Amino acid sequence: MRRPVLGLFAALAACLLFCSPTVAASGPVIFPLSQIKPGMQGIGYTIFSGNKIQSFQVHVIGVLRNMIGPKQDVVLVRLSSPEIAKSGVVAGMSGSPVYIDGKLAGAIAYKFGTFTTQAIAGMTPIEEELAVSGSGELAIGNASKRAGGNAHYALSSGSPQQMGAGDGAYLEPIAAPLVFSGFLPSVVGRFSGQLAKYGMLATEGGTAPPSPADADLQPGDMAAMVLVSGDLSVSAGCTVTARIGNQVFLCGHPLFGFGKVDIPMARAHVVATLASSMSSTKIMNTGGLIGSIREDRVTGVMGRVGPAPPMIPVQLAVETPAVTKHFHFEIMENSKLTPLLVSMVTLNGVHSSLPYNEGTTFQLKGSIDIAGHDAVHLENMFVPNDQPVPDAFPIAAQVQSVFDEIYHNPYEQPHITGIHLAVRSLPNARWAMIENAWSDKKDVHPGETILVKVALRPYRGSPFLREVPITIPAQATPGTLHVLVSDAATLDRIEQYFPFGPRARLASLGQLIQLLNQERRNDRFYVALLQSSPTLLVQDKRLPNVPLSEINVLGQRNPGRTTVLWQSELAERSVPMHEVITGHQYLTITVK
């Protein structure tokens, strides 16, 4: 007769936890890990469809001590219910609260392997999940250890046999469904591998209109971490374990493992649960913003209901021969994820706007606004190649590369305030190769002008000639002078032959921005005069023909920030071509 009484008590206690604002404000009554024993029964709560919180049964198998790390234990449990019998442990269940005797014991956070016939899960003890707040009445301490979302934790030899599994079994964090709305499947597929490293399971979903009730999160509800919003949206979902005042505890494991964060938090609505023998997942819509995620730690995620943090506004214009489309997004600011997210939305915006699928040349113009600094300017041209990637992919890759350099600079934490990108698509592959070059004079004097003639062969076109006048500088010394006719990449690589390249000499983010803005463009060819005399590179400055005595003095004043090139660039001309240029030619003339 005890079972019905205990079951009724548990149900009433859980209802009080869900419905009583005073309990939510002061915190739930917890069932401590020290009292959890094998064979105990509990009740868990999660959403399988709609906004209806449903219960499932939890059977305690045992406690795995120091499973995740020192003093970070996991309770191994078996789950059961009619819904779980169909789907098993579901992506998006992370954080589902478990009650024993009506007291909050922990959060479902880990699953047991793949293709399992039983719904075996790992439960993070509630004391350890509440510790992520680092403060408050129930805080145990700050769980600062970080772990990637795809971590595996091997089970001891006894536990797998008890469950009918062989040695080598492991627990892993339950994947968080990463919901894409407005994205092409090909774009999601191209980035899904990078996202999987963070324990994210890419899936399709949508958005829901904001509601005044969105902020009324209760244990068992779904919340979303918003990565992108606007014309496209990306968000990751977890289940709420507990709410204490405005603090919301979710997941029971790290989302990304970033530690302190400031990510917009929104309400999530489960549309349905997709059952799969490999990986079942919740399909969800993202609702209105309700606050921010503040902690992303090894034993859980903590957010605060209230104002959402600002996001980076992104404007993308894609011009095709038929129409110009304008896209507006907002992207969360994070040094690891923002470059990837910008690359994704850029590729999707361009790729989805094209009236044709191949043979497209692109012109990119844009700027990245950085608080307290000049903007970084982007301008380049891209042609299709034989690689099995969309023609627009090199654009996305270059944008991501620039963002990586900005965010990973060693000087200061940048704050990006806006991104403006304009992409123009042109039919056909537009590129030309430097086939030959010669000058009208072999012997020259300082101050004299020579005419360099350049023969170019366009892709599937007839060769043509360009003439470039260039003046021999007055400081040119008698002897051999090299004339380099080349594309941008060849001229840029000259500096890369020397130790550490130009980035190693810089001393500030401002100098890095200047260097990025000085990079040559690939839709031009360049004529450079090179002489065998020393050039001193000091931070972002270039000093040609410097005497050795001055090199020694400047090098001592700027230790580690100087590089000597035993070749000086005396002059440079660039010729815009409106097509991508490749190749190079060397000429030799004599200065009298």
pLDDT in tens, the chain (592 residues): 333 333 433 443 444 344 433 345 567 899 999 999 999 999 999 999 888 999 999 999 999 988 777 778 999 999 999 999 988 899 899 999 999 999 999 999 998 766 565 789 999 999 999 998 863 333 333 333 333 445 656 565 445 445 444 444 668 888 888 888 889 888 888 887 787 777 677 787 888 889 889 999 999 999 999 999 999 999 999 999 999 999 999 999 998 888 899 999 999 999 988 877 667 888 889 999 999 999 999 899 999 999 999 999 999 999 988 899 999 999 999 998 999 999 999 999 998 887 655 578 999 999 999 999 999 999 999 998 777 778 888 999 999 999 999 999 999 999 999 999 999 998 888 999 999 999 999 999 999 999 999 999 999 899 999 999 999 998 888 889 999 999 999 988 876 544 445 565 678 899 899 889 988 999 999 999 988 765 655 555 555 555 555 555 555 555 555 555 556 778 899 999 989 999 999 999 999 9
For residue 22, which phi and psi values (nearest 5 degrees)? -70, -40
Terminal alpha carbon distance of the chain: 111
Residue with structure tokens 């009298």?
592
For 312-427, CATH gives: 3.10.20
Residue 101 has what DSSP assignment?
T
Q: Which of 421, 401, 450 has its CA nearest to residue 315?
A: 421
pLDDT at residue 214, as a whole number = 92
**How many residues are given for the chain?**
592
Give the CA radius of gyration of the chain: 31
Residue 472 has what DSSP assignment?
P
Q: Which of 360, 394, 391, 359 has its CA nearest to residue 380?
A: 394
- 343 burial (CB, 10 Å; 0-12 / 13-18 / 19+) is buried
Domain ranges within the chain, ordered by starting residue: 1-309, 312-427, 431-591
Q: Which of 167, 304, 170 has its CA nearest to residue 247?
A: 304
Instruction: Identify the bridge partners of residue 365 per DSSP, sorted by sequence position.
Output: 379, 422
pLDDT at residue 190, as a whole number = 85
Two tokens at 132? 């992520």
Pair 570, 530: CB distance under 8 Å: yes
pLDDT at residue 3, as a whole number = 38
Pair 168, 154: CB distance under 8 Å: yes
Distances (CA, A) of 313 to 209, 282, 316, 397: 20, 29, 10, 20
Distances (CA, A) of 153 to 68, 150, 239: 7, 10, 22
Q: Which pTM value belongs to this model?
A: 0.80
Q: Which residues of 344-355 are buried (b: 16+ CB within 10 A; e: fewer)?
A: bbbbbbbbbbbe
Rounded Cα distance, 450 and 439, in Å = 7
CA 502 from centre of chain:
26
Q: Which of 251, 235, 248 has its CA nearest to residue 94?
A: 251
Rounded Cα distance, 25 and 34, in Å = 25
The number of CA neighbours under 13 Å toward the Cβ of 164 is 6
Instruction: Identify the bridge partners of residue 582 per DSSP, sorted by sequence position.
Output: 433
- 20's CB contacts (< 8 A; 6+ apart) are none
- 541's CB contacts (< 8 A; 6+ apart) are none
